[in-house]
């Protein structure tokens, strides 16, 4: 728009009575004077209009800046809830999640007021790198610092994780699963029998004992007992494969490793105990005659996991797990061995030992021997310990002084 157009819109035109005056010298002077006055008025009006326009634009810009700056300030400030929160919400932290991913998940579930509140608290806590993946029960509307502390607290995962210690029998696993997952004995038994569902290999001959890999399992929302057992069986098979066992020998490897797990007392003895097991099984013409003679197997057959069998229990040939009376391996594993025990069976320490005895059942101190005479001397130390600690040695039902075990 030209200046003339602009002026016309506000009632100023270029029409002037003097413009029609005859072109005399005097009239010419008067017309020139009138033009000057019009130019002057236009300059004044132009300046006035421009000042109004600029002022308006400036006000709009200032208002816009204020709005945008306010929004930015609001977004950049760490909005945070006060206190430890209220109610509860279940949040799953995926494997490999960064602090930013965790922050976004917590914000999405209204655990924290903003991602930045959590990130600031995450950076401020030196232990935050120890946050583990898994499922957590948290509160809503927590401060960032409270959220970080909750993720570091094992109690937040207690209802969502299942820990199976090394050496646990299937009955012990059953009790733990019933307690943690809040399922019935019938639910667990049904899962044990669902051989296809849990993926139990044929070499196990339908018995899950030994196949329920020890470890901590994060329980996912809606996961069934069968699905959890399937993960355990898969983990066991993966460990056996990783250690190079022939699939046809998987069950034997688990039996040996379960004995090592129960007998050795300490991982530092695992490879030596594994060698004793191998020597006894292969040296059938030795003093032990191919018998393992392990207290742990007798106790398993009796439904116990600790103590020392009595003379009567050692003499009872009706117990199929009595390796004092039966040669070779017992019918099944006697618990779930950990990876360290499996490694020991895969690579036993070199040596000619046929005997060992744990002389202190509290500390696990174990002595190894190649001859029966040497073993008998070591066993005297166990007898002395048991006389001083009858409750430890006699277990839940045995009351007699234990017969020194050939292997122990």
Distance CA 254, CA 250 (A): 6
Q: Helices (DSSP H) in 112-265: which residue ranges?
A: 115-124, 144-152, 170-181, 185-193, 195-198, 225-242, 250-263
Per residue in 355-403, pLDDT tens? 999 888 888 888 999 999 999 999 999 999 999 998 888 753 332 333 3
Report domain extents, the chain.
3-62, 86-152, 161-242, 264-394
Residue 332 has pLDDT above 90, yes or no: yes
Per residue in 85-112, pLDDT tens? 999 998 988 888 888 999 999 999 999 9
Q: Are residues 368 and 355 in contact, defined by beta-carbon separation less than 8 angstroms?
A: yes
Residue 47 has pLDDT above 70, yes or no: no
Closest CA to 153 of 116, 185, 128, 187: 128
Q: What is the residue whose two structure tokens read 């003093």?
A: 287
CATH number of 86-152: 3.30.1490.480
* pTM of the model as a whole: 0.67
Six token digits for residue 394? 């006699």
Average pLDDT over residues 51-76: 40
DSSP secondary structure string, 30-79? HHHHHHHHHHHHHHHHHHHHHHHHHHHHHHHHHHHHHHHHHHHHHHHS--
Lowest average pLDDT, out of 14-18, 311-315, 367-371, goes to: 14-18
Six token digits for residue 365? 């101190």
């Amino acid at each position: 728009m030209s200046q003339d157009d602009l002026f016309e819109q506000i009632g100023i035109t270029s029409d002037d009575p003097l413009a029609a005056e005859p072109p005399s010298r005097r009239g010419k002077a008067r017309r020139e004077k009138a033009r000057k006055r019009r130019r002057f008025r236009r300059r004044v009006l132009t300046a006035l209009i421009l000042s109004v326009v600029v002022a308006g634009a400036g006000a709009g810009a200032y208002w816009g800046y204020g709005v945008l700056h306010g929004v930015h300030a609001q977004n950049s400030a760490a909005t945070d809830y006060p206190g430890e929160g209220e109610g509860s919400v279940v949040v799953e932290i995926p494997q490999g999640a960064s602090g930013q991913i965790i922050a976004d998940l917590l914000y999405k579930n209204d655990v924290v007021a903003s991602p930045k509140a959590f990130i600031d608290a995450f950076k401020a806590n030196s232990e935050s790198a120890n946050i583990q993946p898994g499922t957590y029960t948290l509160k809503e509307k927590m401060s960032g610092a409270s959220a970080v502390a909750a993720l570091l607290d094992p109690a937040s995962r207690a209802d969502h994780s299942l820990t199976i210690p090394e050496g646990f029998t299937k009955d012990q696993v059953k009790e733990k699963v019933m307690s943690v997952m809040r399922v019935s004995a019938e639910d667990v038994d049904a899962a044990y029998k669902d051989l296809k569902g849990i993926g139990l290999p044929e070499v196990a001959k339908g018995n899950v004992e030994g196949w329920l890999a020890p470890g901590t399992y994060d329980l996912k929302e809606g996961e069934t007992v069968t699905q959890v057992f399937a993960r355990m069986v898969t983990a066991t098979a993966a460990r056996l494969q990783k250690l190079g066992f022939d699939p046809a020998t998987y069950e034997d490897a688990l039996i040996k490793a379960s004995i090592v797990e129960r007998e050795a007392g300490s991982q530092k003895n695992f490879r030596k105990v594994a060698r004793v097991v191998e020597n006894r099984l292969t040296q059938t013409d030795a003093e032990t005659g191919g018998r393992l003679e392990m207290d742990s197997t007798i106790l398993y057959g009796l439904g116990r996991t600790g103590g020392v069998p009595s003379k009567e229990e050692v003499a009872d040939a009706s117990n199929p797990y009595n390796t004092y009376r039966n040669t070779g391996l017992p019918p099944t594993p006697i618990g779930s061995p950990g990876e360290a025990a499996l490694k020991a069976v895969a690579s036993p320490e070199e040596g000619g030992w046929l005997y060992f005895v744990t002389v202190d059942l509290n500390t696990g101190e174990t002595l190894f021997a190649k001859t029966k005479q040497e073993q008998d001397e070591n066993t005297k130390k166990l007898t002395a310990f048991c006389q001083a600690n009858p409750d430890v040695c006699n277990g839940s039902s045995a009351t007699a002084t234990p017969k020194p075990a050939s292997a122990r």
